Amino acid sequence: EPEVTQTPSHQVTQMGQEVILRCVPISNHLYFYWYRQILGQKVEFLVSFYNNEISEKSEIFDDQFSVERPDGSNFTLKIRSTKLEDSAMYFCASSGDRRREQYFGPGTRLTVT
Amino acid sequence: KQEVTQIPAALSVPEGENLVLNCSFTDSAIYNLQWFRQDPGKGLTSLLLIQSSQREQTSGRLNASLDKSSGRSTLYIAASQPGDSATYLCAADSGGYQKVTFGIGTKLQVIP
């Protein structure tokens, strides 16, 4: 069964460093999303991406964040200068249609020290 | 701004019991509502998605209902099993700036 994959599973970085989190969505899906979950808190929407551009973004998704689909399979989230408060689990998701189910990857745990 | 609330926060039941998890949302203008399961330290597994035009969806022992007018959804789990132990999240897709809003989840423990 097709699934969303994410790498790395765990990333440790120092404050101020840039990180890139990678996702491979399900191959025939057209809509892509990033979410984050700070330990013990709700899953929060960051951004959605369709047709090679951002379609929605939340207040969390400020200028420090960017997304890219560099090729036909990968979808990346870049944080330019990480802060301690960026420590969280980051989930990628994809869906085949705007109104259909979102399928989540296993997440990347980002730890900023 | 959409707010999603889930009650109870935690639930412990003996194996075999039927149970209901509740989700409420403040903005009834939703595209769909999706229920997920999250195991500790893991990603989210989609369980059921209810479109705004639907009233319920069923998958195996799971049944989810949606009442947009009252801003409520319920997830019914029949004949619970220890393997059902997990955190159950509901998420409302409202479109707009905050695309999908999650509840904090209900942590379910099914005791053998």
Structure tokens at A47: 């951004």
Averaged pLDDT score across all residues of chain A: 93
Q: Residue A98's pLDDT is what?
A: 67
Does the pLDDT at position A19 exceed 70?
A: yes
Structure tokens at A98: 């705007």
Q: Is A98 on the interface with B (CB under 8 A)?
A: yes
Q: Is B42 on the interface with A (CB under 8 A)?
A: yes
Does the pLDDT at position A79 exceed 90?
A: yes
Question: Residue B96: which region, alpha, beta or left (left: phi > 0; alpha: psi -120 to 50)?
Answer: left
Q: Is A91 on the interface with B (CB under 8 A)?
A: yes
Structure tokens at A27: 């191959």
Does the pLDDT at position B97 exceed 50?
A: no
pLDDT (mean) for A51-59: 90
Question: Distance from B50 to chain A by nearest Cα, in Å?
Answer: 9
Question: Distance from A69 to chain B by nearest Cα, in Å?
Answer: 20
Which chain B residues are within 8 Å of A58, Cβ to Cβ? Answer: 97-99
Residue B112's pLDDT band (boundaries 50, 70, 90)?
A: very high
